[in-house]
């Protein structure tokens, strides 16, 4: 079971790293009970289109500092941009909705990029090597996941 889970995790990671113009992915079980994945439909009628989604971050939210060389790092920008807030989200993610609602309730302007629907969102998600949503950027700080208390700390540090 660990081998199948590890293979699925590796396959999911590889799929997220591919360019947006991906082929359809198929999943089927052979006569020996082994699960197979391929971008080509097998000759059998047993294949089902596999849906691979970006997951919400689970567990506690983690805050880190962006590297100055990161494409989204704001270290060399004017002071007003250093406190900029950006969310990398999906439409279905509950934590993403909570983060949006909290920022709106505080009247804090933010940019919201959908990593499944927006070309810019997909690119920034890849650049940041995202492994889930939401990714919240406040100035040079990054949070994977959502915690209101940690977001408050990030906002205070950025002057909000």
What pLDDT was estimated at residue 72? 52
Which structural domains are found in the chain, ordered by start? 2-49 (no CATH), 62-157 (3.40.30.10)
For residues 139 and 131, what is the distance between their CA atoms, to the nearest angstrom? 20
Average pLDDT over residues 121-147: 94
The H-assigned helical ranges of the chain are 2-17, 79-82, 94-106, 119-127, 148-157
75, 68 Cβ separation under 8 angstroms? yes
Q: Tokens for 81? A: 């941009």
135, 52 Cβ separation under 8 angstroms? no
For 103-118, what is each residue's pLDDT tens digit? 999 999 999 999 999 9
* Residue among 25, 19, 52 nearest 40 (CA): 25
Model pTM score: 0.62
CB atoms within 10 A of CB 151: 24
Better-scored residue on pLDDT, 115 or 28: 115
pLDDT over 50 at 133, yes or no: yes
Angle between helices 148-157 and 94-106 (to 10 degrees): 50
* Residue among 155, 134, 104, 127 nearest 143 (CA): 134
């Amino acid at each position: 079971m660990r081998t199948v889970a590890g293979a699925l995790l590796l396959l999911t990671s590889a799929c997220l790293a591919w360019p947006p113009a991906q082929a359809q992915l198929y999943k089927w079980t052979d006569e020996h009970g082994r699960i197979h994945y391929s971008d080509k439909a097998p000759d059998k009628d047993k294949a089902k289109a596999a849906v691979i989604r970006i997951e919400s971050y689970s567990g506690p939210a983690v805050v880190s500092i962006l590297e100055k060389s990161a494409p989204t790092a704001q270290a060399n920008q004017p002071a007003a941009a250093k406190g900029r807030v950006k969310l990398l989200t999906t439409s279905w993610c509950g934590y993403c909705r909570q983060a949006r609602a909290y920022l709106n309730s505080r009247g804090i302007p933010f940019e919201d990029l959908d990593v499944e629907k927006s070309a810019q969102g997909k690119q920034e998600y890849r650049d940041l090597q995202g492994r889930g949503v939401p990714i919240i950027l406040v100035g040079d700080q990054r949070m994977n996941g959502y915690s209101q208390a940690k977001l408050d700390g990030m906002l205070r540090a950025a002057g909000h």
